Amino acid sequence: MNEKALILYRDRQENTLLHQMVYLMEHCRGANDRTPENTALLYDCMHGLLEMAGQYGFSGNLWHCYLAHLLVNSENSYSRSCEIRGSVQGTVNQAALHDMRLFKTFYDYDLAGLARWFDVADFEMVLHYESSREESKVYNTRVRDRICTLAARLACARDAEEMKRTLTEFYREYGVGKFGLHKAFRVAQKDGSVQIEPIPNITHVKLSDLIGYEIQKQKLTENTEAFVNGKKANNCLLYGDAGTGKSSCIKAIANEYYDRGLRIIEIYKHQFPYLNDVIAQIKNRNYRFIIYMDDLSFEEFEVEYKYLKAVIEGGLEKKPQNVLIYATSNRRHLIRENFRDKQERDEDLHSRDTVQEKLSLSSRFGVTIYFGSPDKRQFNEIVEGLADRSGLTISREELLQKANQWELSHGGLSGRTAQQFIDYLMGK
C-alpha cells in the first residue's frame, strides 16, 4: 500500500513530495533502480524538505515534520469533527485509523539506509536539521514548535492507534488547518472568490499590558467570556477618543482566548459585500469567530453600512452562534450626522426617518464601551507604568516633565502618546 490508498488525508496539492518519497522507498530497492533519474529525484526531495524548513521554521527530522505538517493542515471530515471538541464517535474513526496505519509506515521509513544505498551522504542534514532564528515566514514560533513536538511524538508512537490518539489530542487542543494554527485572519479576493488568509504574526499584547481602563476591559472580557463559553453574547462597539487602546484591546482578546478556540477575522468596510461569503466559510466550524472592524465610520455618501446592518440583524438568515462582530470607532453613532438631519423643515419630508436610519447601525451593537482620553493624573500613571515595564532608569520628576512636554506637541493626552514617548526614550 502507498499514499494513493489514503482515504481522508488525500490533499493532492501538498502530497507531491510524499508521492516522491514513497516511490523511492517502495520501488528503489534493486541494483537497476539506482539510476541517475532516481538519484536526482532523491535530491529533489532533499530540496523540497529544506525549502519547507526555511518556509515554516522546522528543525530536527524534516521528513517527520513534513508528515506532521500534512496531518495538522488536512481539513477532512475527521479532523474538522475533532477540532476543539476532541474524539468523536462513528465509522469515520475506522477511516482515520486506516490512514494512520499508512502514516505509521511513512514515519518508520529507513531514510538513512536509503541515503546510504544511493550513496548520498548529504541526506543526513535532512534528518538532523538545525533551523536559524530567522526562518519561518508562515508560522509564529509557538505554532512551529507545536508541530515539531507533534512530529517527534508521532515518530515515537508504538502503533497506529497511539498515533491516532496523539493526533486527535492535537486537534482538540489546537484545531486543524489555518483556523487551528493561527489567531488572526484577513479577507482577500482572489480568482473571483473570497478567501480568509492567516496573519502569521500579531502584536503579542495582553489586557494586563494596558494601563487603566479597568471598567472597559472588564465589560469586554465578560462579553467575550460568555461567547467562548457558548453562552449568549452581544456584538460589541468600542468607541471614543483616538489613541486610548480600543484596537489594542481587540488584539489582546485575540491573544488571551486563542487557546480556547477564539479566532479574529479583520475586515475593512469596502469588503462588507463579502461578509456573507466569509460567514458561510466559518459558520460550521467548531471555533468562535469575532469579525473585527477597526476604525469603523461612514460618511453620508457611503452605503456599505447597509451590508453590515443586514448581517448583524435583519437578514432572513440567522447569524451563526459562533460569530460575533467587534468594531472600534471614534464615533458613537458610526454614520456622520449633521444638523440638517434634525431640521423639521427640510427637503426630506420624514426627517425623523433619516435620523433613525443613521442611528440604527450603532443600536445593533448590544455592548457599547466608551474609551475617553485620560486626564493629566491618569496620563502620568500610564507613563510611569510603561517606563517601569520598559526598565527605564530615570527619576520620576524628570520622566513626567519630559512626558508633559512631549504630549503638548504630539497629539495630547492618550495612551498612544504615552507609548510613543516611552519608545522615544528607549530609542535614545
pLDDT digits 0-9 by tens, 233-283: 999 999 888 888 899 999 999 999 998 999 999 999 888 889 889 999 999
Task: Give the length of the chain.
Answer: 428
The pLDDT of residue 353 is: 47
> Helix or strand or coil: residue 203?
coil
- State the pLDDT at residue 68: 96
Element housing 179 (H / E): helix 177-181
Q: Among 301, 330, 137, which Cα is nearest to 240's? A: 330
Helices (H), 57-128: 62-73, 77-82, 92-107, 111-118, 124-127
Q: Is 243 exposed, middle or buried (0-12, 13-18, 19+ CB in 10 A)?
A: buried
pLDDT computed for residue 345 by the predictor? 45
- 298: which 3 cell numbers? 461612514
Contacts 24+ apart (CB under 8 A), 145-150: 146/170, 146/174, 147/56, 147/58, 147/65, 147/68, 147/69, 147/72, 147/181, 148/58, 148/59, 148/60, 148/65, 148/68, 150/68, 150/71, 150/72
Q: Give the pLDDT of residue 414.
A: 86
239 in Cβ contact with 328 (< 8 Å): yes
Judge contact between 144 and 85, C-beta under 8 A.
no
The closest of 126, 329, 136, 324 to 240, measured between CA atoms, is 329
Tell me, what's the pLDDT at 395?
A: 84
Distance between CA atoms of residues 93 and 105, nearest Å: 19
Asked if 218 contacts 121 with a C-beta cutoff of 8 angstroms, the reply is: no
Ordered by start, the domain boundaries in the chain are 3-181, 196-200+236-371, 376-427
Q: How far apart are the first and last CA of the chain?
A: 64
Global pTM value? 0.83
Edge to edge, the sheet with strand 184-190 lists 193-199, 184-190, 262-266, 288-293, 323-329, 236-240, 367-371
φ, ψ (nearest 5 deg) of residue 28: -100, 80
Instruction: Please check whether residue 382 is in contact with residue 374, taking contact to mean a CB–CB distance below 8 angstroms.
Output: yes
The whole-angstrom separation of Cα 207 and Cα 217 is 7
- Helices 92-107/141-156 angle, 10° precision: 90
Cβ-contact 148, 60 below 8 angstroms:
yes
User: What residues have CB less than 8 Å from 127, skipping those under 6 apart?
Assistant: 61, 62, 63, 111, 112
Assign domain 196-200+236-371 to its CATH superfamily.
P-loop containing nucleotide triphosphate hydrolases (3.40.50.300)
Low-confidence residues in the chain, pLDDT < 70:
1, 12-14, 133-137, 298-306, 313-318, 332-362
Give the bridge partners for 306, in sequence order: none
